[in-house]
Chain A
Amino acid sequence: MRKLIVQMSMSLDGFIAGPNPAPNNPLGDNGLRLHAWYDQPGSHNFGKDVEGDTGAVIMGSVMYYESLPWWHGTGPLGDDVPCFVLTEQSHEPKEAAKVFTFVTEGIEEALRLARAAAGDKDVLINGGANTIQQYIKAGLVDEMYIHVLPLLLGGGTNLFGALGECMPLEKISVHDEKGVTHLTYRFERK
């Protein structure tokens, strides 16, 4: 346990949000389509598996501000799972639900705090793409759960961008179901 996990729904062309994101359209054009599988009746919910093992969440401040209205006063996984938001001091909100802690000292400090709060459970990086990329580049991510949708969004926010270095992965599992394919990879430690 105590792994650092990334979980994302991604289009076949690598986007986790469509083009033209806006406050009333936080996932961009057609971006909500990436998440339709989540409540699909009758299918095994891999998303809930990951969330059940999660003891703390890390996210970037862009995601925090865009998603806050949708979380109705709690964190992304409710009130019991502490959430650490990477931010700059100038962007720290004056008020926030108590599940959120704002971290201004960078990704390693956020991870240290999240691990301490998570106890025996995993730490989940909830996004956005830039936050995920920073943790991957720093070699800190243990496992990645990617839910691939049979859609081409044609533009938007790219999950990986150009990381600038080659990293081999170990494929742990592939679960295919109607409308979504769940891929799990482990990073090889240097």
Chain B
Amino acid sequence: MSKIKARMSMSVDGFIAGPDASQDNPLGTNGLKLHDWIFDNPKQENSLLQGIRENTGAAIIGYNMYYEAIPHWGGTGPLGDDIPCFVLTSEDKVPENAPAAFTFVTDGIESALEKAQAVAGDKDVWVGGGAYAIQQYIQAQLLDELKLDIVPILLGGGTSMFGELGRFIEVDKLEVRDEPNVTHFTYRFKKA
């Protein structure tokens, strides 16, 4: 059964990127430290990406993530060329040229999800980020599962994972797994 999933590395103070993020520095000041647990361990990096790729049929990302990360993806989508990626955006921001993996969606998160589910089939839809895209899917009660990799650092500012969602939501804690420099949390959202 296809699920809608997100996964983010987050600081103890709730940030997924440090202050002053830009195209040159997409994770902001000190933000790369949130990903040390992945990149310090090449085996970890491979198995993580492989795991997501195996189970994912389509990705959805926000435009800011697309814009800031595109130079770093080497001409493919975030999960390679064979996993289609839908980018939430407005008409004035649709780029003239983009790698074939990307489709730009200008009529909202539900439309993007329908399109993503149509191509994903039985596989999962992965909401890749940024924070605002994930927040919108949480607010709309469309997200099924959220994995948070909490890193022992206070970033002191930047992009907040949850912001102020404006509603109370209870989640089921499915799993907590501790590793030396990160603690992995898996939560499931109750469907309305």
**In contact, B30 and A166 (Cβ under 8 angstroms):** yes
The verdict on A185 contacting B176 (CB below 8 Å), with A150-B171, A151-B169, A154-B166 known, is no
Q: Does A117 contact B (CB under 8 A)?
A: no
In the bound complex, do residue B14 and residue A150 qualify as a contact, i.e. CB atoms below 8 Å apart? Answer: no
Q: How large is the interface on A (under 10, 10 to 19, 20 to 34, 35 or more residues)?
A: 20 to 34
A159 to B156, CA, bound (A): 12
Contact of A77 with B by CB under 8 A: no
Question: Across the interface, do A167 and B169 meet the contact criterion of CB distance under 8 Å?
Answer: no
CA distance A167 to B167 in the complex (A): 30
With contacts A174-B183, A181-B185, A183-B183 known, is A164 near B157, CB below 8 A? yes
A171 — which chain B residues lie within 8 A by C-beta? 152, 178, 180-181, 183
Cβ A160 vs Cβ B169 within 8 A: no
On whether the beta carbons of A154 and B154 are closer than 8 Å, the reply is no
CB distance from B10 to the nearest CB of A (A): 9
Q: Which of A18, A146, A165, A176 touches B176 (beta carbons < 8 Å)? A: A176
Interface residues of A in 128-184 (CB under 8 A from B): 136, 146, 148, 150-155, 158-160, 162-171, 174, 176, 179, 181, 183
Q: Kindly list chain A residues whose C-beta atoms are within 8 Å of the C-beta of B172.
A: 150
Cβ–Cβ contact A160 & B162, under 8 A: no
Give complex CA distance A181, B183 in Å: 11
Q: Which residues of the other chain, B, contact A101 by a CB distance below 8 angstroms?
A: none
CA distance A167 to B15 in the complex (A): 13
Q: Report B160-183 residues with CB < 8 Å from chain A CB.
A: 160-162, 164-173, 176, 178, 180-181, 183
Report Cα–Cα, A150/B18, bound state, in Å: 24
CB of B162 within 8 A of CB of A136, answer no
Interface size class of B (residues with CB under 8 A): 35 or more
Cβ-based interface call for A30 (8 A): yes
Please tell me which one of the listed residues B13, B148, B150, B171 contacts residue A151 in the complex, with CB atoms under 8 A apart.
B171
Q: Is A96 an interface residue (CB 8 A)?
A: no
- Check: A53 CB closer than 8 A to any chain B CB: no
Known contacts A18-B168, A174-B183: A13-B14 contact under CB 8 Å? yes
**Chain A stretch 4-49: residues in CB contact (< 8 A) with chain B:** 12-14, 18, 29-30
Q: In the complex, A174 Cα to B183 Cα: how many Å?
A: 8
| Contact, CB under 8 Å: B168 / A152 | yes
In the docked arrangement, what's the CA distance between A165 and B153, Å?
A: 11
* 18 A-B residue pairings within 8 Å (CB atoms): A12-B171, A14-B13, A30-B168, A151-B170, A154-B164, A160-B13, A163-B154, A164-B156, A167-B154, A168-B153, A169-B152, A169-B153, A171-B180, A174-B176, A176-B173, A181-B185, A183-B12, A183-B183
The interface of chain B, by Cβ under 8 A from chain A, is 12-14, 18, 29-30, 33, 138, 148, 150, 152-157, 160-162, 164-173, 176, 178, 180-181, 183, 185, 187
Residues of A within 8 A of B (CB): 12-14, 18, 29-30, 136, 146, 148, 150-155, 158-160, 162-171, 174, 176, 179, 181, 183, 185
Beyond A154-B168, A169-B12, A176-B176: 18 further Cβ-contacts under 8 Å?
A12-B162, A14-B14, A14-B160, A136-B154, A150-B170, A150-B173, A151-B171, A152-B169, A155-B166, A159-B13, A160-B13, A166-B18, A167-B156, A168-B153, A169-B152, A174-B183, A183-B12, A185-B12
